[in-house]
Structure 1
Amino acid sequence: MEESVGQGQLVYYKIGGLIRKYRKEKDMKLLDLSALTGIKSAMLSKIENGRIIPTIPTLFTIINKLGIRPETFFAQLNADNAFPGYFFLPKEGFAAYEKEEGAIGFQYQSILEYNNDGGAFQISLLTLFPGSNRTQVTTAAYEFIYVLEGTLQYQLEDKTFDLTPGDALFFDGNIAHTPINYKNMMVRLLVFYLFADQNK
């Protein structure tokens, strides 16, 4: 059984991004990696897009089949977590990343990733372009949504919320969810992911 994010780590994003990077460098599709590892492509997709993190045996299976030395892979997950008392975050430093393969018109930029003894969080800027589309997904985190620009609907399973600039929504990411840009205009959201330490 796959594990939810915990233990104050923010490697959920880095693990998925690294796996996707190495897979694409080898010109492999998710189905190719699935055939090599015996892990379902749907599960691999969730791992790559940061919806879950893999168990240690699953992770070692993936990196082994991708031909990556474990020490090389894990060295890229290390980060200096010392907090200097502030972070200045110029917009030029926002890192674009892909969260869901197959999503149309979703553009994510990571603004800040940070972890401490109490858990971990990530703040992202999400831009929804006209015609954007995605199925409902789940995330092993709490999510806080704040609308910066545009009008949208946010679906939480069978509930729908109408949001305009300045509105916010907080929810358990384990509830299936998706934003819907139903107008012919761009929508910008701040998305705050909170990964609590489940061992406390």
Structure 2
Amino acid sequence: MDDILMNIGKQLKRARQKRELTLQQVARRSGVSPGLISKIENLRTTPSLSVLLKIMQTLSIDLSELDLSPKDQEDYVLIKNGQGTQEEREDSQNLEYQHLFSSSISDHNLRVYTVSIAKGAYRKPISTDATELVYVLSGKVNYLLKKEKVLLEKGDLLFFDGSIPHGVSNDFDEVVVLLKIYLIHQYKG
């Protein structure tokens, strides 16, 4: 169920873009903050029903237009190399998110990605409604936590509360590849 709610964010983003509306326009019309809409669209939080309905009304989306079909549960999940789905993130220029896997766990949603960060890429610190785990598969990158710069190199693991503002800065001469795992808390607003 949580994965369905997370994927609604993608659908809302497509609908907003199709209608050529900005985040600020939708926020002003719906009474939902642009930051929360961005978090929903960029899969950083799960919307509450009231927030979802406000955004849907603003975008004139009928419930029947949304894909609410659950994915069948299997005994195991195997994602072969290259089978991930690329996700566009407006708040993460020069970072390529490859979605590998999602699953519901209690009142959380688990999402697994590989993230490629281009040479010279910088993403300003943002916060999420998740606990995050970052494992460096190749390269090195500076991770920004609050005002601290933490150097992460191949084989390093970083685990932190995503509500802490965090960003990245690739100040090195190679692309860095991360395995990134989000345990996203359900939004109760």
User: TM-score per shorter chain, which class?
Assistant: 0.7 to 0.9
1:26-74: per-residue Cα shift (whole Å, max 9, x none)? 222223322332333233222211223332222101112212111332x
Query: 1:58 is matched with which residue: 51, 63, 66?
Result: 51
By how many angstroms is 1:145 displaced? Answer: 0.4
Match of 2:82, SS? helix
Match of 1:130, SS? coil
Residue equivalent to 2:23: 30
Residue equivalent to 1:98: 88
Root-mean-square deviation (CA, aligned residues, Å) is 2.3
Gapped regions of structure 2 (runs ≥ 5)? none
Is contact 1:31–1:41 with CA below 8 Å preserved after alignment? yes
Return the alpha-carbon distance in structure 2 between the equivalents of residues 46 and 196 of structure 1: 12
Residue equivalent to 2:73: 82
Match of 1:134, SS? strand
By how many angstroms is 1:10 displaced? Answer: 2.9
Amino acid at match of 2:7: K
1:124-177: per-residue Cα shift (whole Å, max 9, x none)? 010100121211011111111000111111111022221111111111111111
Compared CA separation, residues 139 and 63, structure 1 to 2 (3 A): same
Amino acid at match of 1:186: V
Return the alpha-carbon distance in structure 2 between the equivalents of residues 117 and 193 of structure 1: 14
Residue equivalent to 1:124: 113
Compared CA separation, residues 13 and 174, structure 1 to 2 (3 A): same
Return the alpha-carbon distance in structure 2 between the equivalents of residues 97 and 198 of structure 1: 21
Of the structure 1 ranges 154-163 and 140-149, higher mean CA displacement relative to structure 2 is found in 154-163
Residue equivalent to 1:42: 35
User: 1:155 aligned to 2:148?
Assistant: no
Is contact 2:44–2:184 with CA below 8 Å preserved after alignment? no
The list of structure 1 runs, each at least 4 consecutive aligned residues, that deviate by more than 6 angstroms after superposition, is none
User: 1:15 aligned to 2:8?
Assistant: yes
Return the alpha-carbon distance in structure 1 between the equivalents of residues 2 and 8 of structure 2: 11
Amino acid at match of 2:20: D
Compared CA separation, residues 20 and 177, structure 1 to 2 (3 A): same
Written as runs of structure 1 = structure 2, the 5 A alignment for 1:158-197 is: 158-195=147-184
Return the alpha-carbon distance in structure 1 between the equivalents of residues 60 and 84 of structure 2: 30
Matched residue count: 188
Is contact 1:81–1:115 with CA below 8 Å preserved after alignment? no
Is contact 1:139–1:173 with CA below 8 Å preserved after alignment? yes
By how many angstroms is 1:197 displaced? Answer: 7.4
TM-score normalised to structure 1 length: 0.84
